[in-house]
Amino acid sequence: MRAIPITVTALAAALLLTACGSGGSGGGDDTGSKNTDGTACRIGDLGVQVGPANTAPAAGDSGDVPVTLSNHGAQCTLQGFPGVELTAGSTSATVPADKAGAPQKLTLAKDATATFTLTYVRGKEGDPAGLAAKTLKLTLPGASAGKSFPWSYGPVQGKKNATDPNATVTAFTQAGD
């Protein structure tokens, strides 16, 4: 008789853990498309955690948004930079790679993690040269499918205009042990 409540509790805990590992700051669309490289990581096999962020408190300040990827599928590789796009309504901006760090090829075993960081400069509310971003879309190298998450870190300052964000994204790095 006692085995049933323990089984139900264990099942509920497993479902909660599964839900936590896939979204971070929000869920997202995930078509899980195949990359062109047969060993490349697929976004559909990864849990994505966005944040917690070191949010830029005021216009002109810099903020960092760490993103952690956890491999829930077979061993795969990440090479290059993640694709990051910020969107506000019908306007979108691709975040450029931070060329200060050279990308390396990472092999992720099942349950291994990798991370990257999006650094941005907060813009002024209502500034037409900034982007009042609402959505962050992440893609992996060589794939068009991605996951989208809510952006809640304020407007992003543009260098020249809203589609040229004052932001960069680092290459993937191994996380954990």
> For 103-153, what is each residue's pLDDT tens digit?
989 999 999 999 999 999 999 999 999 999 999 999 999 888 899 999 999
pLDDT of residue 28: 39
pLDDT category at 177 given cuts 50, 70, 90 is low
pLDDT of residue 38: 60
Would the pLDDT of 100 be above 80? yes
Task: State the average pLDDT for the chain.
Answer: 81
Instruction: Tell me the sheet residues that pair with 169.
Output: 97, 118
Angstrom distances, CA of residue 33 to CA of 26, 45, 60, 93, 118: 20, 10, 38, 22, 24
| Cβ atoms 106, 174 nearer than 8 A | yes
What average pLDDT score do residues 44-54 get?
A: 92
**What pTM, to 2 d.p., does this model score?**
0.76
pLDDT of residue 145: 87
Q: Percent of the chain, pLDDT > 90? A: 66
